[in-house]
């Protein structure tokens, strides 16, 4: 079974939030093996920590 990840973001500045789903391959391609992922808010461009969780499907 393939691993999937759920990445949850919540911007402390403008309050927008979002969830994205990535497969293991996509995670490695984009972020490597880094456990802490930082993303830019698409609204205000603030860099924020993303909460990454493994998900079953
Ligand atoms: Zn923001």
Give distance in angstroms: CA of 38 to centre of ligand 1. 13
pLDDT (mean) for 30-38: 83
The pLDDT of residue 56 is above 90: no
pLDDT for position 11: 95
> What sign does the CA torsion over 46, 51, 54, 56 have?
negative
Token readout for 47 is 């860099």
Residues lining ion ligand 1 (Cβ < 5 A) are 11, 13-14, 41, 43-44
* Between residues 33 and 19, the one the model is more confident about: 19
Give distance in angstroms: CA of 37 to centre of ligand 1. 16
pLDDT for position 57: 63
Tell the residue number behind the tokens 């998900």, with chain if given: 55
Give distance in angstroms: CA of 30 to centre of ligand 1. 21
Give distance in angstroms: CA of 44 to centre of ligand 1. 4
């Amino acid at each position: 079974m393939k691993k999937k990840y759920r990445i949850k973001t919540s911007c402390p500045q403008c309050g927008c939030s979002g969830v994205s789903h990535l497969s293991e391959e996509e995670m490695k391609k984009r972020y490597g093996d880094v456990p802490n992922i930082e993303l830019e808010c698409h609204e205000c461009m603030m860099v924020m920590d993303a909460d990454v969780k493994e998900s079953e499907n």
